[in-house]
Chains A and B, each alone.
Chain A
């Protein structure tokens, strides 16, 4: 016969212990947990989180103060043999409660600090891995957020943070998941203080993914949805700043670079005021990218100066993006060895952070250095691999841009017919998305490719004629 193993105190008993713990904590503002015997404390702390969650909308100020102190105390402890990361789980729950109560109190900057704190702990946990597989089979999202699902707002917060990251990893898949996530959230019964936030951010995720895969025209509908939800949000400032960023990103995709450079500075300041460091870095990368296309290389490098100095404050994948832009700018300025060094480091960081869209960009940027050295074959090889990677990720506009670079390289190699094939494949994408400036360049290139074919009859045709069987 098997043994009946103890489950410890009942739920009610643990809740009583949790109430006592809170009393003691309020008077002493500290607690100690033995690193080896943390099991009992772990359960009490999880019960404390459950109690605090019930109070976070009725007495947000007191809860915020309590969870902040608990978080500070717990983050100083270490637990040995915590195989399933219960400590990190409690830290996340406390950070989530702090984020939520800060929002109820409209302490936007504090909420952002807690959001960043949550993300940094959450990225290191097993839950991140769990979500990777949940998103690989999106029917399980329905379990977390679908109709009849008991709404676990922290779980929904985790999915939101996770999908924000996945836009750079699997953009096409993230779009499908974000659309499904939005539908599920619309049917869920979430608390009113967080429902508009989650709906708006799911809409932003879908819009952001659409922009990422090169369908900027379809983004506006999601932006409007996000804005409509944010009208009911108790603390919409941070999300509205993200809406503005998405609008700028769409303008960049539509080649309206002047407009981006005019507005980016104000948005950068907003992100700085709200303490949204990651968003600020992303904004500066976009700003620098627009300046680069306008040929204002020095200004672009100045814009990247600040994020370059924050290397140790931002996650490595994001810093990889900073180096990617910086490397490209240096190669445009003719500083090829510095550019290669930065792009190689960018590749390492982007690979480490699984930023697949950035990795595809690195290859096309290195190819430009090869082209400037006249190494056309090597450049062509890299461009084709970059084009393949963009296509695999579903990034249509970037794939089309790569085709243009390939066409240009073919022209330089004296292969106008191959250039024509590439341009003809790129033009429909520019047409579909209203990318007028790119379409104009494509047509000019196409004209040049056809002109050269007339001047220099296709070698292939000559060869074919030579080997045609004579009647």
Chain B
């Protein structure tokens, strides 16, 4: 195994018996997963379920692209921050679209304002998945 990946600790639930695996998983979950969920929830104001999805995605990214030359904990924090901010951006963008295209009075007013200021529909998402 990669040396830096080992720094995530002996808690990493890899290659153990079923009971051992389960307790290791619980420990790993408590020490790494939940703190990252709390970070996404309170630093980035995400709902718990959204935070969980973001952290799960971060671990998938870590499995694929963890940089062996960097501190894996700092790397995980960075990925969670990045994905959380992208998540918020998408929520903001969706909210703008909904307010623009929903057939309400407020939506129409918003549409007029936006058409005067230029389109809000921004398709660029240059920061998604650039790890």
Q: Which A residues are within 8 Å of any B CB, using their own CB?
A: 5, 7-8, 10-11, 39, 42-43, 46-47, 49-50, 81, 83-84, 86, 89, 126-127, 129-130, 133-134, 139-140, 142-144, 148-150, 152
Contact (Cβ within 8 A) B38 A46: yes
Range for the number of chain B residues in contact with chain A = 35 or more
Interface string of B27-48 (1 = CB under 8 A from A): 0011111111111011111011
Contact (Cβ within 8 A) B42 A43: yes
Cα separation A11 to B49 with both chains bound (whole Å): 10
Known: A10-B48, A144-B85. A139 touches B9 (CB 8 A): no
Asked if B94 is an interface residue, CB under 8 A from chain A, the answer is no
Interface string of B42-81 (1 = CB under 8 A from A): 1111011101100000000000000000110111111001
Selected contact of B35 from candidates A83, A134, A140, A149, CB within 8 Å: A83
In the complex, which residues of chain A have a beta carbon less than 8 angstroms from the beta carbon of B30? 39
| CB nearest to B29 among chain A residues | A5
Shortest Cβ distance from residue B101 to the other chain A in the assembled complex, whole angstroms: 18
Asked if B82 is an interface residue, CB under 8 A from chain A, the answer is yes
Known: A7-B48, A43-B38, A139-B127. A83 touches B9 (CB 8 A): yes
Shortest Cβ distance from residue B79 to the other chain A in the assembled complex, whole angstroms: 10
Contact (Cβ within 8 A) B89 A150: yes
Known: A7-B48, A47-B42, A142-B127. A150 touches B92 (CB 8 A): yes
The 3 closest A-B pairs by CB, nearest first: A46-B42, A129-B74, A84-B35
Contact (Cβ within 8 A) B127 A143: yes
Cα separation A143 to B44 with both chains bound (whole Å): 12
Contact (Cβ within 8 A) A7 B32: no
Cα separation A148 to B89 with both chains bound (whole Å): 6
Cα separation A84 to B32 with both chains bound (whole Å): 7
Asked if B93 is an interface residue, CB under 8 A from chain A, the answer is yes
Cα separation A92 to B82 with both chains bound (whole Å): 20
Q: List 29 A-B contacts (CB under 8 A).
A: A5-B26, A5-B33, A7-B34, A7-B52, A10-B47, A11-B41, A39-B30, A39-B34, A49-B42, A50-B42, A81-B31, A83-B31, A83-B35, A83-B73, A84-B73, A84-B77, A89-B39, A126-B71, A127-B77, A129-B71, A139-B127, A139-B130, A143-B86, A143-B127, A148-B122, A149-B85, A150-B44, A150-B88, A152-B43
In the complex, which residues of chain A have a beta carbon less than 8 angstroms from the beta carbon of B93? 148
Contact (Cβ within 8 A) A148 B52: no
In the complex, which residues of chain B have a beta carbon less than 8 angstroms from the beta carbon of A86? 35, 38-39
Cα separation A21 to B122 with both chains bound (whole Å): 42
Known: A83-B32, A142-B127. A42 touches B38 (CB 8 A): yes
Asked if B126 is an interface residue, CB under 8 A from chain A, the answer is yes
Cα separation A129 to B71 with both chains bound (whole Å): 8
Cα separation A81 to B32 with both chains bound (whole Å): 10
Contact (Cβ within 8 A) A140 B127: yes
| CB nearest to B42 among chain A residues | A46
Give the residue among B42, B82, B126 with the most A Cβ atoms within 10 A: B42
Contact (Cβ within 8 A) A84 B71: no
Contact (Cβ within 8 A) A149 B89: yes
Cα separation A126 to B32 with both chains bound (whole Å): 14
Cα separation A84 to B29 with both chains bound (whole Å): 12
Known: A7-B49, A84-B73. A150 touches B85 (CB 8 A): yes
Shortest Cβ distance from residue A372 to the other chain B in the assembled complex, whole angstroms: 43
In the complex, which residues of chain B have a beta carbon less than 8 angstroms from the beta carbon of A83? 9, 31-32, 35, 73
Shortest Cβ distance from residue B54 to the other chain A in the assembled complex, whole angstroms: 12
Give the residue among A10, A50, A83, A144 with the most B Cβ atoms within 10 A: A83
